[in-house]
Amino acid sequence: MNLLRFLSRDAIASVVVFLVALPLCMGIAIASGVPPAKGLITGIVGGLVVGLLAGAPLQVSGPAAGLAVLVFELVNTHGLSALGPVLLLAGALQCLAGVLRLGGWFRIVAPAVVSGMLAGIGILIMLSQLHVMLDAEPQASGLANLIAFPGAAWEAVRQVNGSSSLMAGAVGIATIAIMWLWERCRPASLRFLPGALVGVALVTWVSSGVALPINRVMLPDDLGQAVDWIGWQGLGTLADPSLLVAALAMAFIASAETLLSAAAVDRMHAGPRSQFNRELSAQGVGNMLCGALGALPMTGVIVRSSANVQAGARTRLSAILHGLWLLALVMLLPGLLQSIPVACLGGVLVYTGGKLVDVRAVRHLGRYGRTPPLIYLATALSIVCTDLLTGVLVGFALTLLKLAWSASRLRARWGTDEAGGVELRLRGTATFLSVPKLARLLGEVSPDTHLRVCIGQLRYIDHACAELLDDWQRTVRQQGGDLEMIGNVAMSHRVEGRLRRRTAPA
């Protein structure tokens, strides 16, 4: 009985996920600079293969906006033929990471870097898809798209009489407006229908009815025609160091996005928890297969996964069935997909990219100090101004600098004890980086002083600071002074043995 109950729930949920995934698979492919059919192939593989092997049974995999920028740069620089080999290697690296049980390490990325990465990706997608909404080709970089857009928009307006660019722009804007209105005004009985599907369906119906002369999705009648099998010659291109770097970046970003999504999905339901290493290996298998087929890379996608959970899915069958529905539609009704305006999918991606730029994330990060929002902004702007990998590395570097600064920060203030003696109260961490500051403070003390150093609020003291205190004590003893340590602090056994004899209990 439970099996039948779960089967009915999973079947209903799979339809909801299919409706969410359909426009996104094609839209992300267009944003990546590849034919829409390749996005559909990735969605099918993500459902039928990864859905079966996944360690996160309620997570749904498919092409993700987070990798669209990386793929666009790769295809623009090295050509479409480079995508398959790079993706094959990236998938193999994911499989290896899963076998070596490295899944948990991909979740240590600082939230500020992840949010900044998504915001930067969202901005780049918006800048490129604004051109797609005008039936124009996007430029090679975010800044180039930003600079070129005013001219493209003015050209569309100037040629208002019969301008296909202006009509395409109207189609894109209408799609965005419908999605926005649907999210806010949809009736409760139709909440399962995603705004992207409603916008695409309505705009496609109207634009086809009035026969607007705009670009529409180009799909082969046979999906097999979109498959570009990788050959030995393609594998030989991996000798190019830049492609190896691209594979490493793709594997890392896809893995981090997948496992962060899996952790978020776990918080949405009370069912079995995700097995991160198994999920990582399943993603690797899926990406290797997509690489062999010449399709887009995949990740676990939070939008489709959250729709899956909210629709009542209970097992992995929902993700598998959604892949089956995608395959059936492409095989049986390709003409229906070929009537969709390209500008309509561009509008879907502009709306999706805008949601990735989450202003609330900045306010949330601000609760933890001024540094996380700065890392967020620096990561996002670096991605927009340079490229995805450079932006992420900038975020990592800033996070490590913040960690190093916090770990080495020593705060000190003078005080007096109950008897009127001199006290030096230390807080934070006393490491070799703090030696100059501590030496300056000790230099302010008269050599004939009995100095009490309170270390109870230190998190750690290393051998360099311990040696400095030891040397200072030996020096002042010859002139009538002394040093007394008050409190306990974490330290190595060797340092602890050196200081124990002169450290009094707090």
Domain boundary among 338, 370, 402: 402
What is residue 205's predicted lDDT score, i.e. its pLDDT? 95
How many domains is the chain built from? 2
Q: Alpha-carbon distance 125 to 319, whole Å?
A: 26
For residue 351, report the phi and psi dihedrals to the nearest 5 degrees. -65, -45
* H/E stretch holding 116: helix 111-132
Which pLDDT value is given to residue 506? 45
* Angstrom distance (rounded) from CA 293 to CA 321: 21
| CATH number, domain containing residue 457 | 3.30.750.24
Q: Which is nearest to 476 in space by CA: 438, 437, 442?
A: 442
On whether both 381 and 397 belong to a single domain, the answer is: yes
> How many angstroms separate the Cα of 439 from the Cα of each of 266, 414, 431?
51, 14, 12
Chain centre distance of CA 306: 16
Which residues touch 312 (CB under 8 Å, ≥6 apart)?
9, 12, 13
Report CA-CA distances (Å) from 504 to 451, 459, 485.
13, 17, 6
d(CA 142, CA 381): 10
Beta strands in 252-392 (DSSP E): 299-300
Which residue type occupies 377?
L
Cα separation values, 401 from 38, 323, 379, 462, Å: 40, 44, 14, 20
pLDDT of residue 492: 47
**Cα-based distances in Å from 327 to 1, 42, 223, 333:** 29, 11, 9, 10
Within 13 Å of residue 32, how many CA atoms lie on the same side as its CB? 30
Segment holding 146, helix H or strand E: helix 142-158
Q: Are residues 397 and 462 in the same domain?
A: no
What is residue 5's predicted lDDT score, i.e. its pLDDT? 64
* Structure-token pair, residue 247: 């594979």
Of the CA atoms within 13 Å of residue 139, those in its CB half-sphere come to 16
| 308 touches 121 (CB < 8 A) | no
**How many CB atoms are closer than 10 A to CB 313?**
29
Identify whether residues 433 and 380 lie together within a single domain. Answer: no
22-51 burial code (b ≥16 CB/10 A, e <16): bbbbbbbbbbbbbbbbbbbbbbbbbbbbbb
Given this model, what pLDDT does residue 494 score?
47
Contact at 8 Å (CB) between 23 and 178?
no
Tell me: do 376 and 469 sit in the same domain: no
151 and 293 in a single domain? The answer is yes
- Within 79-110, where are the H helices? 83-99
The bridge status of strand 422-430 relative to strand 410-416 is antiparallel
* Residue where one domain finishes, among candidates 402, 426, 444: 402
Instruction: Give yes or no: residues 397 and 456 share one domain.
Output: no
- Residues 296, 281 within the same domain: yes
- Parent domain of 429: 409-504
> Alpha-carbon torsion 129, 130, 135, 139, what sign?
negative
CA 336 to chain centre: 33
Are residues 395 and 417 both part of a single domain?
no
Q: Is the pTM of this model over 0.75?
A: yes
* Sequence letter at residue 281: S
Element (H, E) at 139: none
Alpha-carbon span 91 to 70, nearest angstrom: 15
For position 386, what pLDDT does the model report? 84
Q: Are residues 100 and 6 in the same domain?
A: yes
Q: For residue 271, which phi and psi values (nearest 5 degrees)?
A: -80, -160
195 and 167 share one domain: yes
Q: For 414, which DSSP code?
A: E
Is there a single domain that holds both residue 355 and residue 298?
yes
The span from the CA of 333 to the CA of 346, in Å, is: 22
Q: What is the pLDDT of residue 103?
A: 87
**Helix residue spans in 32-58 (DSSP H):** 36-45, 51-53
**What six digits make up the tokens of 210?**
């009035």
pLDDT digit string, tens, across residues 294-346: 999 999 988 889 889 888 888 999 999 999 999 999 999 888 999 999 999 99
CA distance 131 to 137: 6
Q: Which amino acid is at 204?
A: T
Return d(Cα 472, Cα 452) in angstroms, integer: 13
Q: Of 402, 428, 443, at which residue does a domain stop?
A: 402
What is the SS3 string spanning 374-389? HHHHHHHHHHHHCCHH
Give the SS3 label for residue 11: helix
Sign of the C-alpha dihedral computed for residues 482, 486, 491 and 492 taken in this order: positive
Q: What angle do CA 114, 119, 121 make, to 5 degrees?
A: 95
Specify whether 325 is located in the same domain as 425.
no
Tokens for 405?
């600064």
Q: Note down pLDDT in tens along the chain; length 506 residues.
A: 454 567 888 998 899 899 889 999 999 999 999 999 999 999 999 999 999 999 999 999 999 887 998 999 999 999 999 999 999 999 999 999 999 999 878 767 788 888 888 888 889 889 999 999 998 888 878 888 889 888 888 877 776 555 688 899 999 999 999 999 998 998 888 877 888 889 999 999 999 998 888 999 998 888 888 898 988 887 888 889 999 999 999 999 899 889 988 988 888 888 888 999 999 999 999 999 999 999 999 999 888 898 898 888 889 999 999 999 999 999 998 889 999 999 999 999 899 888 888 888 888 888 888 889 999 999 999 989 888 778 888 998 999 888 888 777 888 888 887 776 789 999 888 888 888 889 999 988 888 888 988 888 888 888 888 889 889 988 888 888 888 888 776 554 445 455 544 554 44
Task: Indicate the pairing of strand 299-300 with strand 482-486.
Answer: unpaired
Report the relative pairing of strands 299-300 and 61-62 from DSSP bridges. Answer: antiparallel
